[in-house]
Structure 1
Amino acid sequence: MPDDESTPETGSPRPRAKGRRGRPRGRRSKAVLVTAWAAAGLVVLGGAGLGYVYFKLNGNINGVDINAALGRDRPRNVDNGSMDILVLGSDSRSGANAAYGHGQDGARSDTAMVVHIAKGHKKASVVSIPRDTLVTRPECTDKHGRPVPAARQQMFNSAYAVGGPACAVKTVESLSGIRMDHYVEVDFTGFKKLVDTLGGVDVTTSRAIHDPKSHLRLAPGAHRLDGEQALGLVRTRHGVGDGSDLGRIQLQQAFVKALLNQVKQVGVISNPKKLYDLADTATSAVTTDSDLDSVKQLAGFAGSLKDIGGQDMTMVTLPVRYDPADANRVLPLARADAQVWSALKADKPIPASAVRDSAGDKGDAGRVVGGR
């Protein structure tokens, strides 16, 4: 699958777009929030009953020391009972992910969501950041400790590409002025395996979806999707909406709610094998910050989120407009973005006025899929 996007590591001028606005692009994204949240939720289900496999599960989890990498150059840590988590999906095509395409170096944060857990942990607000948003990337260091210079007019997902998780976190903190309490990442294979281990996901489609790019074909009506189908659904652009990445984000958000509601209904306590399989898959699926990289820590984190279902979440896309110089890029709407981030800082609901003029929350792609 060829890469048709400009290289984020250079400061060279971006090519002008040809064709219609919102033309689809090469790489694919995942509903990473689903996997991350499900992983945490399933670990807490098994925390008390898995004793003898504790160390096996503990060894599954990959951790990244974000705090050490970023040091003191971060927004103030406000302890008001709320929590902010950056959830990323990397689009690496290495290892088992090679089946989903080639033609790119390294990996990028193909899906990014800032999850704000309100005080009391009964409600959540989720802000999706489009991968093609042009931002000022702050100076950071890569995973080897080498400096990465600041750069203007860079795609948001370039931060992960050039500097890994820590640079992605620093870019989000620079955009929002909000300190991220945690970091969670998942990839194609982890997402697919978790859906299969859950036994599939029940969704209802309001119209047919046919996308030869993601190999997905669904008739209108009720479906139980396996992992491959679920991955196809959250990757699809061509089968739903106008073919843009913004429409795909809406589809992902709808799928997140459907799967979260289903995860809460899965009864596994009485089935030790199912319980172990879910915990093993979940802990293998994620990379976290070092404050969550053990079963005990991840279980405690999950326990704090267990009361939040799809109906308790408000999901928006960061307010943006299409770049008039390049229809394949979007630009932040500064005033509206400030409203979104201010609401999260104050632990208040995101006002409807913030997304009223945004290109990100127009269209009906999100209404195509619902839970059963």
Structure 2
Amino acid sequence: MTQSSVRGEGTRPGVRPAFVGGQEATEGADGSGRSGTGATGDGGHRRGGPRRGRRVLRWSAVTLSLLILGTAGAGYLYYEHLNGNIHKGQRSSGDAKALKSKANAAGQTPLNILLIGSDSRNSDENVKLGGAKYDRGSPPLGDVQMLIHLSADRKSAAMVSIPRDTRVDIPKCTDPKTGKVYPPTNRIINESLARGGAGCTLATWENLTGVYIDHWMTIDFSGVVRMADAIGGVDVCVKQNVWDHPTAAVPGGSGLKLTEGTHKVQGKQALQWLRTRHAWGSDLMRARAQHMYLNSMIRKLKGQNVFTDTGRLMDLAEAATKSLSVSEEIGTVKKLYDLGMQLKSVPTDRITSVTMPNVQDPQNTDHVVPNGASADRLWQMLRDDVPLDDKGKASGSKKTSAKSVATKAPSAPDAQIGVLVQNATRSSTLGPVSGRAGVIAQELVAKGFSRASKDASAGLSEDTTVVRYPSADLEGDAQRVAKSLNIPLSSVKRSTDVSGVTVVVGADWRTGTAYPKQSAPKAGQLPSGTDAINGSDKSQCMDVYAPYRW
């Protein structure tokens, strides 16, 4: 589905321009977000460009919907009607291996919700908003994807975005509506939505991050428009006068025109803010502007009492339930209300917005890939429930630390324990390390595990080393093997994907015969490249790329 790229001119030197499905997004002068290679004579546009317009509002709108439902007690006035508005789907439709987090000492577990902005054209309204009629019925793409992580103690939250053009491993997925099976592939992450629905995107995220995701929520063009004006204006800031307009070097632009300072934007102007790319210098800076908008929106919703107005509240609840599709286990107003209340309880100074650390894809300069160790560190913080801000501590650390994992006696002497070693050192950024399975198998034999052998399977990929076992009677054997290699017991997992004790050598163990000691991340110790913004920071202000100042 990757398309040929047309790299634009006029982008700030050293900063990667934005791309849509492999093409550079060159927004039209009319604000349509059309690709420079996809325009047609009648104003319709080829798939890849037009959907840039309003999809940038989607993740903000979904979060708004959560907050609305979280405060909308009066929505129960027509509870059954609202329930009927909500579209539901299967939680996971892919081959995912992430396990649900263990509870902390207080019995609490983190909550992870995947928000997806869909470019679906399957209605007259969406076609009108999204572009050409001939795209109607085409499989939707998940152009905006964000994980909301609520800590186990519900005192902090993280909002983590992955760029839409990130190349990842998409697992085998089955479309729950048609039964069509999609084989595993290595493509950009926004294509996962078209390969089995939101449940496939969820499975893709789980395999990439190792984070168990409890629920998904999606919103499309029409849903974004329906919710866009519900906020009543959001404060944004620019350091210089900005006008995102066509230039001699770069056609198109969102049309955003503001003077230096802070402004309240809503309606069309809010859309222009969220779509602007050229004036900020890159697509990554557009993500920063979107994070600033969302944080400002959350602060405003927390500070106003619009939900005491029953008439407006009912309108907001109606719009929210019509705008959302959700995984079936949260497909009622009450369950959405409960989720919203949990999100609403987090103070704004404990909300951190970040983007996955990324680098240019060596296979395609139009795309990006996770930035190795930095991305892995971010995923580890989410898995271990370590706050991204420095105001707390890892609420799940006592239960998940290697020292506190209960050990079991092996079922047999070392020489009688069968062990299979797999080489899964390939990652999205690095190729496999040849011979790793054989090296570790030989090390196990030298340590007395004479039945250890290597698996000749190729192309396996795991970010983190793990020891898997199929049944409870082999847990002690798996722990014994892990201990001999210095692999933490927290990385010993039960799995039906293996038939015996299996050491999966991941991308985090590329050299040596002893697993490298991993230091546990601490609260607030974010890796480089996340571009973090705190939810209470009102000082954020966008710097305008020189050609777009006036």
Query: How much has 1:325 moved relative to structure 2?
Result: 4.5
Quote the Cα distance in structure 2 between the aligned partners of 1:315 and 1:347: 15
Residue type of the alignment partner of 1:299: Y
RMSD: 2.5
Q: Is it true that 1:227 corresponds to 2:267 in the alignment? A: yes
Further displaced range: 316-325 or 91-100: 91-100
Q: For residue 125 of structure 2, what is the aligned residue in structure 1?
A: 96
Query: How much has 1:17 moved relative to structure 2?
Result: 6.5
Seen in structure 2, the aligned counterparts of structure 1 residues 296 and 317 have a Cα distance that, compared at 3 Å, is same
Q: For residue 239 of structure 1, what is the aligned residue in structure 2?
A: 279
Seen in structure 2, the aligned counterparts of structure 1 residues 310 and 165 have a Cα distance that, compared at 3 Å, is same
Quote the Cα distance in structure 1 between the aligned partners of 2:308 and 2:270: 27
Which residue of the other structure, out of 100, 111, 123, is the alignment partner of 1:77? 100
Residue type of the alignment partner of 1:223: H
Residues 41 and 302 in structure 1, CA contact (< 8 A), matched pair in contact too: yes
Seen in structure 2, the aligned counterparts of structure 1 residues 327 and 361 have a Cα distance that, compared at 3 Å, is farther
Query: How much has 1:117 moved relative to structure 2?
Result: 0.7
Quote the Cα distance in structure 2 between the aligned partners of 1:204 and 1:18: 29
Report the TM-score, using the length of structure 1 for normalisation: 0.85
Q: Secondary structure at the match of 2:196?
A: helix
Seen in structure 2, the aligned counterparts of structure 1 residues 216 and 110 have a Cα distance that, compared at 3 Å, is same
Q: For residue 188 of structure 2, what is the aligned residue in structure 1?
A: 155
Quote the Cα distance in structure 2 between the aligned partners of 1:18 and 1:51: 51
Residue type of the alignment partner of 1:265: G
Q: For residue 151 of structure 2, what is the aligned residue in structure 1?
A: 118
Query: How much has 1:96 moved relative to structure 2?
Result: 2.1
Seen in structure 2, the aligned counterparts of structure 1 residues 269 and 31 have a Cα distance that, compared at 3 Å, is closer
Query: How much has 1:38 moved relative to structure 2?
Result: 1.7
**1:47-58 equivalences in 2 (<5 Å):** 47=73, 49-58=74-83
Q: Secondary structure at the match of 1:341?
A: helix
Q: Secondary structure at the match of 1:145?
A: coil
Q: Secondary structure at the match of 1:157?
A: helix
Residues 138 and 151 in structure 1, CA contact (< 8 A), matched pair in contact too: yes
Of all paired residues, the percent bearing the same amino acid is 30
**1:279-290 equivalences in 2 (<5 Å):** 279-290=317-328
Q: For residue 487 of structure 2, what is the aligned residue in structure 1?
A: none
Query: How much has 1:323 moved relative to structure 2?
Result: 2.3
Q: For residue 3 of structure 1, what is the aligned residue in structure 2?
A: none
Q: Secondary structure at the match of 2:300?
A: helix
Q: Is it true that 1:64 corresponds to 2:102 in the alignment? A: no
Query: How much has 1:70 moved relative to structure 2?
Result: 4.5
Further displaced range: 264-273 or 173-182: 264-273
Quote the Cα distance in structure 2 between the aligned partners of 1:325 and 1:19: 19
Which residue of the other structure, out of 387, 407, 416, is the alignment partner of 1:349? 387
Which is bigger in relative contact order (C-alpha 8 A, separation at least 6)? 1
Q: Secondary structure at the match of 1:291?
A: helix
Residues 377 and 527 in structure 2, CA contact (< 8 A), matched pair in contact too: no
Query: How much has 1:321 moved relative to structure 2?
Result: 0.6
Seen in structure 2, the aligned counterparts of structure 1 residues 156 and 271 have a Cα distance that, compared at 3 Å, is same
Q: Is it true that 1:36 corresponds to 2:66 in the alignment? A: no
Residues 88 and 331 in structure 2, CA contact (< 8 A), matched pair in contact too: yes
Query: How much has 1:15 moved relative to structure 2?
Result: 4.7
Quote the Cα distance in structure 1 between the aligned partners of 2:5 and 2:17: 12
Query: How much has 1:287 moved relative to structure 2?
Result: 1.2
Residue type of the alignment partner of 2:541: R
Which residue of the other structure, out of 370, 375, 381, is the alignment partner of 1:332? 370
Seen in structure 2, the aligned counterparts of structure 1 residues 23 and 51 have a Cα distance that, compared at 3 Å, is closer
Q: Secondary structure at the match of 1:214?
A: coil
Unaligned segments of structure 2, at least 5 residues: 10-14, 19-23, 26-48, 104-108, 246-252, 389-520, 533-539, 544-550
Which residue of the other structure, out of 212, 216, 223, is the alignment partner of 1:183? 216
Residues 31 and 255 in structure 1, CA contact (< 8 A), matched pair in contact too: no
Which residue of the other structure, out of 262, 285, 290, is the alignment partner of 1:252? 290
Query: How much has 1:85 moved relative to structure 2?
Result: 1.2
Query: How much has 1:192 moved relative to structure 2?
Result: 3.0
Residues 205 and 220 in structure 1, CA contact (< 8 A), matched pair in contact too: yes
Q: Which of the two has greater helix per residue?
A: 1
Q: For residue 335 of structure 2, what is the aligned residue in structure 1?
A: 297
Query: How much has 1:354 moved relative to structure 2?
Result: 5.2
Q: Secondary structure at the match of 1:348?
A: coil
Query: How much has 1:93 moved relative to structure 2?
Result: 4.0
Residue type of the alignment partner of 1:52: L
Quote the Cα distance in structure 1 between the aligned partners of 2:526 and 2:367: 20
Quote the Cα distance in structure 1 between the aligned partners of 2:72 and 2:7: 52
Quote the Cα distance in structure 1 between the aligned partners of 2:331 and 2:219: 14
Residue type of the alignment partner of 1:131: R
Seen in structure 2, the aligned counterparts of structure 1 residues 337 and 262 have a Cα distance that, compared at 3 Å, is same
**1:157-176 equivalences in 2 (<5 Å):** 157-176=190-209
CA deviations over 1:239-261 (Å, ceiling 9, x no partner): 22x2x322211111111101111
Quote the Cα distance in structure 2 between the aligned partners of 1:19 and 1:45: 45
Instruction: Tell me how many residue pairs correspond in the alignment.
Output: 347
Report the TM-score, using the length of structure 2 for normalisation: 0.59
Residue type of the alignment partner of 2:89: V
Seen in structure 2, the aligned counterparts of structure 1 residues 60 and 220 have a Cα distance that, compared at 3 Å, is farther
Q: Secondary structure at the match of 1:57?
A: helix
Residues 139 and 147 in structure 1, CA contact (< 8 A), matched pair in contact too: yes
CA deviations over 1:116-160 (Å, ceiling 9, x no partner): 1112212111221011111111111124221001112x1111111
Quote the Cα distance in structure 2 between the aligned partners of 1:100 and 1:170: 27
Which residue of the other structure, out of 16, 20, 24, is the alignment partner of 1:22? 16
Quote the Cα distance in structure 2 between the aligned partners of 1:200 and 1:190: 18
Quote the Cα distance in structure 2 between the aligned partners of 1:192 and 1:211: 21
Residue type of the alignment partner of 1:101: G
Query: How much has 1:277 moved relative to structure 2?
Result: 1.2
Q: Secondary structure at the match of 1:66?
A: coil
**1:199-238 equivalences in 2 (<5 Å):** 199-212=232-245, 213-238=253-278
Q: Secondary structure at the match of 1:183?
A: strand
Seen in structure 2, the aligned counterparts of structure 1 residues 16 and 368 have a Cα distance that, compared at 3 Å, is closer
